Amino acid sequence: MTGTSQQTRTQRGALIVVEGLDRAGKSSQCEMLQTYLKEQGHSVKYIRFPDRTTPIGKLIDSYLRGSANQEDHAIHLLFSANRWEIAKSIEEDINSGITVIVDRYSYSGAVYSAAKANPTLSLEWAWQPELGLPRPDICLFLSISAEEAAKRGGYGAERYENETMQTRVRELFRTLFERQKDVYVVDAGKTLTEVSKDIQNAVLNCLACLDTIGSLRKLGPLAK
Ligand code: Z5A
Ligand code: MG
Which of 19, 90, 112, 163 is the pocket-test mutation for ligand 1 (most atoms within 8 Å of CB)?
112
Ligand 1, pocket-test mutation among 17, 19, 21, 28, most atoms within 8 A of CB: 28
Tell me: the pLDDT tens digits for 73-118? 999 999 999 999 999 999 999 999 999 999 999 999 999 999 999 9
Q: Residue 31: give its domain's CATH number.
A: 3.40.50.300
Q: Which domain holds residue 150?
A: 14-213
DSSP calls for 71-135: -HHHHHHHHHHHHHHHHHHHHHHHHTT-EEEEES-HHHHHHHHHTT--TT--HHHHHGGGTTSEE
pTM to 2 decimals? 0.96
Q: Is the peptide bond before 50 cis (omega within 30 degrees of 0)?
A: yes
177 inside domain: yes
What are the pLDDT digits (tens) for 145-194? 988 888 888 788 899 988 899 999 999 999 999 998 889 999 999 999 99
Pocket of ligand 1 (CB under 6 A): 20, 22-28, 49-50, 64, 79, 104, 108-109, 112, 152, 160-161, 191-192, 195
Is 7 inside a domain boundary?
no
> How many folded domains does the chain comprise?
1
